[in-house]
């Protein structure tokens, strides 16, 4: 059965970076095919993968208002366009939500994505959702059952507190989350004692196991500045080794 792995966390914590590193992990281990969904209005997962986006769900929603062919229902046309929007790569496909219909509104785009998500999921072993800040978007995407929620925090007291709050609100949003892990990103090396205490406190009090800690990385900065795909990061780089150890922990639980 398809496993859904979703990112969560406040803005700027590195959810997209974590998504790209996870794609590298899955494709190199032939845990494919994978569907990556960039669900952030400020879509940039494609940039970390060095891919051009031609068609987004937001654009499809705008086009469907004036570009409906005869002899085809709206639902059939939308399903066809969603499949056309997939960027097909070796081992994974990428879907980009793009800009919403109006200020803060993803209602229509999410409605059509929800209609096709079940059919799409049949074609993939894993779906990786790079979510926008907050959790409401996941509930609107019809992802009621999430196999693993990776809550990404920056190395700050506020970031850790936000991660704890996110872990607590999955219930009120009626999201069935089978596994949760905290990932602390861009941490100093070594980790300061005060930060480690905040992490340990969150893990103990919020039923939020620690997936691991990723140090700040010059390799990531260099790849982003050069426009190089994160999938081409060297396997011996520290950030790849740290993230791989984290994902080993995650999948040892997820695939039980």
Q: What is the DSSP letter of 207?
A: T
Residue 69, pLDDT score = 73
pLDDT band for position 135 (cuts 50, 70, 90): low
Of 68, 133, 127, whose CA–CA distance to 95 is shortest?
A: 127
Of 73, 102, 68, 97, whose CA–CA distance to 85 is shortest?
A: 97
Sequence-ordered list of residues with C-beta below 8 angstroms from that of 132, at least 6 positions apart, any chain: 11, 39, 40, 41, 42
Cα–Cα distance measured from residue 57 to residue 108, given in angstroms and rounded to the nearest whole number: 9
- Evaluate whether 234 touches 244 at the Cβ level (below 8 Å): no
Q: Does 45 or 224 have the greater pLDDT score?
A: 45
Q: Where are the alpha helices (DSSP H) in the chain?
A: 15-28, 45-48, 57-64, 74-85, 107-121, 136-140, 157-169, 193-205, 218-226, 238-254
Q: Which domains does the chain have, with CATH numbers?
A: 3-254 (3.40.50.300)
CA end-to-end span of the chain: 13
> Out of 17-26, 161-170, 223-232, 246-255, which region has the weakest mean confidence (pLDDT)?
161-170
- The encoded tokens of residue 207 equal 């039923």
Cα–Cα distance measured from residue 145 to residue 142, given in angstroms and rounded to the nearest whole number: 8
pLDDT band for position 31 (cuts 50, 70, 90): very high
Residue 20, pLDDT score = 97
In tens, the pLDDT along 191-211 reads 999 999 999 999 998 889 999
């Amino acid at each position: 059965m398809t496993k859904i792995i979703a990112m969560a966390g406040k803005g700027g914590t590195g959810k997209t970076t974590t998504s790209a590193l996870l794609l590298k992990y899955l494709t190199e281990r032939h845990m494919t095919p994978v569907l990556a969904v960039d669900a952030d209005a400020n879509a940039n997962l494609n940039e970390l993968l060095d891919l051009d986006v031609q068609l987004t769900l937001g654009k499809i929603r705008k086009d469907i208002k004036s570009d409906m062919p005869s002899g085809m229902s709206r639902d059939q046309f939308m399903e066809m366009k969603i499949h056309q929007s997939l960027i097909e790569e070796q081992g994974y496909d990428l879907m980009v939500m793009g800009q919403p219909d109006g200020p803060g509104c993803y209602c229509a785009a999410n409605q059509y994505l929800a209609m096709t998500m079940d059919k799409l999921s049949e074609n993939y072993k894993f779906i990786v959702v790079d979510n926008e800040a907050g959790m409401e978007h996941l509930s609107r995407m019809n992802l009621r059952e999430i196999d693993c929620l990776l809550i990404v925090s920056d190395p700050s007291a506020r970031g850790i507190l936000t991660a704890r709050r996110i872990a607590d609100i999955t219930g009120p949003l009626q999201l069935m989350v089978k596994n949760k892990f905290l990932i602390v990103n861009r941490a100093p090396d070594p980790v300061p004692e005060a930060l480690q205490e905040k992490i340990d406190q969150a893990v103990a009090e919020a039923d939020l196991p620690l997936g691991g800690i990723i140090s700040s990385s010059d390799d990531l900065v260099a790849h982003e500045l050069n426009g190089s795909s994160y999938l081409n990061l060297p396997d011996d780089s520290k950030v790849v080794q740290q993230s791989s150890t984290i994902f080993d922990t995650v999948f040892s639980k997820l695939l039980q």
